[in-house]
Amino acid sequence: MKADAAAVDLFCGVGGLTHGLETAGIPVEVGVDCDEECEYAYDANNDARFEQNDVADLDADRVADWLDAGTVGILAGCAPCQPFSNLNNGEDSSERDDWGLLHEFGNLVEETEPEIVVMENVAEIRNQPVYSEFMNTLWRAGYDASYSVVQCPDYGIPQDRKRVVVLASQYGALELKGPTHSPSNYPTVRDAIGNGVVPDIEAGEVDEDDPLHRARTLEPQNLERIRQSRPGGTWRDWDSELRLDCHKKESGRSYGSVYGRMQWDTTAPTMTTQYYNYGSGRFGHPEQDRAISLREGAILQTFPPDYEFAEDEEDIHYQTVGRFVGNAVPVRLAEVVGESIIDHVKDHNVTA
């Protein structure tokens, strides 16, 4: 007898989406990503199997076989979002190869006909023709498809992250569960990484019990800058000799969050792939004179505190882990998606 469900995670990275689906109770058969560096973390933390492959090169018959392991086949994924992100700094990304990946996702939907489709991405993707084409593909193939624009704190994610979640089903309307939190009880930075969740460390230090809990070294000038920074403040709090030339220009006066500290009792800013870098945003620790650690950023993305990202300490590199974490689907958001699918399947009396 088949399992109740079988999911395939396209563009799986280190497994944020997979881990959330599995936590909700949905078995994931295979995660696919072209980045071989993701394999250890994906395999070490999830029950699914990692396959290194470009989604554009995937054989549809193989994907159909993976989906056929369950009565309900779920094709899920988050195509790389850099072309669509409002953090793209105005770069003209119209010629990037990434644009075609959502097309490839749509092609696999048409060729494999999974019962359910999940697509998560930055909210700005809705303004792009490739998004309309993807939705039209779903509707043309007979799916009941809709989207939700998600404010991540609404679902207990301690981070100001805005995403779009597309859910499509052959059974009927599939809606994302309603919010579990409101502004009055949003989870905070303190809830996530304060109150002893991780030990205090200094800039340049590595926690002896958790090699991922490490903070980048700060040059003397940046160390003085963060010492003069207050939570939620800006570079205007610094002595004038510490200010950057760009801050003195009219065009730089609006960039108040650069070199900023987080606040304990609010949500964190969006975790980017550069969250470990004090100068890349409001990534200064609320209290300690350092940027947040690799582990703290992962926790703010709702990865479990013991999630493994590298087999050996020597394999932990800021740029690599930053990419893993910043590009991931928040685990809790994926869990909410999984819970929504389970409720939907039960409502339609689908059994193995």
Both 205 and 145 in a single domain? Answer: no
Both 220 and 251 in a single domain? Answer: yes
Average pLDDT of the segment spanning 208-232: 96
Q: Poorest-confidence range of 123-132, 200-209, 317-326?
A: 123-132
DSSP 154-210: GGT-SB--EEEEEEEESSS---PPPPS--GGG---HHHHHTTTTS----TT-EETTE
Both 281 and 303 in a single domain? Answer: yes
The span from the CA of 191 to the CA of 154, in Å, is: 15
The span from the CA of 352 to the CA of 336, in Å, is: 23
Confirm whether 258 is domain-assigned.
Answer: yes
- As for how many domains the chain has, the answer is 2
Amino acid 342: pLDDT? 96
Q: Mean pLDDT for the chain? A: 91
pLDDT, tens digit, 9 for 90 and up, residues 115-164: 999 999 999 999 999 999 999 999 999 999 999 999 999 999 999 999 99
Three-state DSSP state, 298: helix
Contacts of 324 (CB under 8 A, 6+ apart): 13, 14, 37, 38, 41, 309
Q: Which of 12, 38, 78, 81 is catalytic?
A: 81
Both 155 and 63 in a single domain? Answer: yes
Question: pLDDT band at residue 82, thresholds of 50, 70 and 90?
Answer: low
Is 34 noted as a catalytic residue in this protein?
no
The span from the CA of 228 to the CA of 298, in Å, is: 26
Both 210 and 83 in a single domain? Answer: no
Whether 324 shows a pLDDT value over 70: the answer reads yes
- pTM for the structure as a whole: 0.92
The angle that helices 60-67 and 99-112 make with each other, rounded to 10 degrees, is 60
338, 59 Cβ separation under 8 angstroms: no
Both 178 and 56 in a single domain? Answer: yes
**CATH number of the domain enclosing 284:** 3.90.120.10
The span from the CA of 342 to the CA of 101, in Å, is: 27
pLDDT, tens digit, 9 for 90 and up, residues 170-197: 999 999 999 999 999 999 999 999 999 9
Phi, psi of 298 (to 5 degrees): -65, -40
Amino acid 87: pLDDT? 47
Both 18 and 152 in a single domain? Answer: yes
266, 250 Cβ separation under 8 angstroms: no
Three-state DSSP state, 86: coil
Confirm whether 352 is domain-assigned.
Answer: no
Question: pLDDT band at residue 94, thresholds of 50, 70 and 90?
Answer: very low
Whether 250 shows a pLDDT value over 90: the answer reads no
**Tokens standing for 154?**
């609404």
The span from the CA of 99 to the CA of 316, in Å, is: 30
Both 240 and 317 in a single domain? Answer: yes
The span from the CA of 104 to the CA of 110, in Å, is: 10
Both 146 and 275 in a single domain? Answer: no
**CATH number of the domain enclosing 158:** 3.40.50.150
DSSP state, 71? Answer: E
- Residue of higher predicted confidence among 6 and 82: 6
Among residues 118, 113, 138, 100, the alpha carbon closest in space to that of 10 is found at 118
Confirm whether 32 is domain-assigned.
Answer: yes
Average pLDDT of the segment spanning 296-321: 97
299, 305 Cβ separation under 8 angstroms: yes
Both 132 and 215 in a single domain? Answer: no
Average pLDDT of the segment spanning 311-327: 96
> Tokens 């669509």 map to which residue?
84
Confirm whether 21 is domain-assigned.
Answer: yes
Which amino acid type is present at position 124? E
Domain interval for residue 81 = 3-182+328-347
